[in-house]
Amino acid sequence: MSRIVYVNGEYLPEEEAKVSVFDRGFLFADGVYEVTTVMGGKLVDFDGHAKRLWRSMGELEMTPPCTEEELLGIHRSLIEKNGFDEGLIYLQVTRGAADRDFAYPAEGTAPTLVLFHQEKQVADSPAAGKGMRIVSIPDERWGRRDIKTVQLLYPSMGKMAAKKAGADDAWMVEEGVVTEGTSNNAYIVKDGVIVTRQLGTEILHGITRAAVLRFAREAQMKVEERPFTIEEAQGADEAFITSASAFVMPVVEIDGAKLGGGTPGPVATRLREIYIDEMRKAAV
Ligand code: PDD
């Protein structure tokens, strides 16, 4: 059965949804996006995703296509029209269509807004019981990773490099330290201390990261926001990643070195439970 998707004010069967060939998202990757999880037909941390979207648009001097409240309404209509219960909603805003020119159009353009959903088992994920295997690759992305743009070719290449190496994902390394995963934030745990890279322009400010660190601190777990190396990670007791689509996902192997006997660790497992419980309660 075909999905109902949203394009610039209309809800349409996916086959009928169209965007211009002159759209700057298509020509220049001049667009930003968000991925929000849906559990039990409700949105997880919508407010966090909306705030980050507005910040991304602001950094790129992009005109917002609607208000935050209207955006929530669109998400809810999409859920309702599709009878959608669990998975992800992808949202993309681009600067819109204009003749090809590197400079932003002087007269401005109407932004393009697209949303669609993908069903996915997020809460009872089989991968969570198994844990992920990670390989490291150099971080060769642009310098403004705090803006959630649709330029995702390097992360795609990284994911393919991981697959070819028989792993599940790649952690990117810059100046000797880990930045983040191809589409997630990276953490290690040593002697009960959770370590994750501090915020800056080098990584995306994960919405799941913010919530998980808050829950960890509330549970009296110790958190250090600082860089770490692959060697330090290989010597850690456990590791994990976070993202809207994976929640908290244990990591059991890094560049061939097994962590904690190769099974998901207690901190990652506990944080995953807390995150899912709390987010189910707070979903809107
Ligand atoms: N990716 N870092 C990068 C590079 C990401 O692409 C993502 C999210 C994250 C985690 O952010 P959050 O917790 O807000 O999802 C960190 C999304 C899920 C994606 O591209 O599909």
Provide the pairing of β-strand 31-39 with 169-174.
unpaired
Q: Report pTM.
A: 0.97
Q: Which of 204, 208, 212, 275 to mutate to test the pocket of ligand 1 (most atoms within 8 A of CB)?
A: 204
Ligand 1 lined by 180 (C-beta under 6 Å): yes
Measured over the CA atoms of residue 156, residue 62, residue 186 and residue 42, the dihedral's sign is negative
Ligand 1 lined by 36 (C-beta under 6 Å): no
Q: How far apart are the first and last CA of the chain?
A: 26
Ligand 1 lined by 196 (C-beta under 6 Å): no
Tell me which residue has its CA closest to atom 3 in ligand 1. Answer: 183
Other beta carbons within 10 Å of 132:
23
How far, in Å, from the CA of 187 to the mean position of ligand 1?
14
| Residues 84, 119 contacting (CB under 8 angstroms) | yes
Ligand 1 lined by 244 (C-beta under 6 Å): yes
User: Which domains, and CATH codes, for the chain?
Assistant: 4-119 (3.30.470.10), 127-282 (3.20.10.10)
Nearest to 266, CA basis, from 233, 228, 240: 240
Q: What is the pLDDT along the chain (284 residues), one digit of tens a residue?
A: 799 999 999 999 999 999 999 999 999 999 999 999 999 999 999 999 999 999 999 999 999 999 999 999 999 999 999 999 999 999 999 999 999 999 999 888 999 999 999 999 999 998 999 999 999 999 999 999 999 999 999 999 999 999 999 999 999 999 999 999 999 999 999 999 999 999 999 999 999 999 999 999 999 999 999 999 999 999 999 999 999 999 999 999 999 999 988 999 999 999 999 999 999 999 99
How far, in Å, from the CA of 197 to the mean position of ligand 1?
14
Tell me which residue has its CA closest to atom 17 in ligand 1. Answer: 183
Tell me which residue has its CA closest to atom 4 in ligand 1. Answer: 183
Q: The tokens of 35 are what?
A: 């991925």
How far, in Å, from the CA of 267 to the mean position of ligand 1?
21
pLDDT value of residue 106: 86
Ligand 1 lined by 131 (C-beta under 6 Å): no
Give burial (CB, 10 Å; 0-12/13-18/19+) of 8.
middle
Q: DSSP letters along 122-190, please?
A: -TT-HHHHH-EEEEEEE--S-S-TTS-BS--HHHHHHHHHHHHTT-SEEEEEETTEEEEETTBEEEEEE
Integer-rounded Cα Rg, in Å, for the chain is 19
- 210-230 per-residue burial string, b: 16 or more CB within 10 A, e: under 16: bbbbebbeeeebeeeeebbeb
Q: The tokens of 208 are what?
A: 């799941």
Q: The tokens of 118 are what?
A: 């993908």
- Annotated catalytic residues are 148
Tell me which residue has its CA closest to atom 11 in ligand 1. Answer: 206
Strands (DSSP E) found in the chain: 4-7, 10-13, 31-39, 42-43, 87-94, 112-119, 132-138, 169-174, 177-181, 185-190, 193-196, 222-225, 238-243, 247-254, 257-258
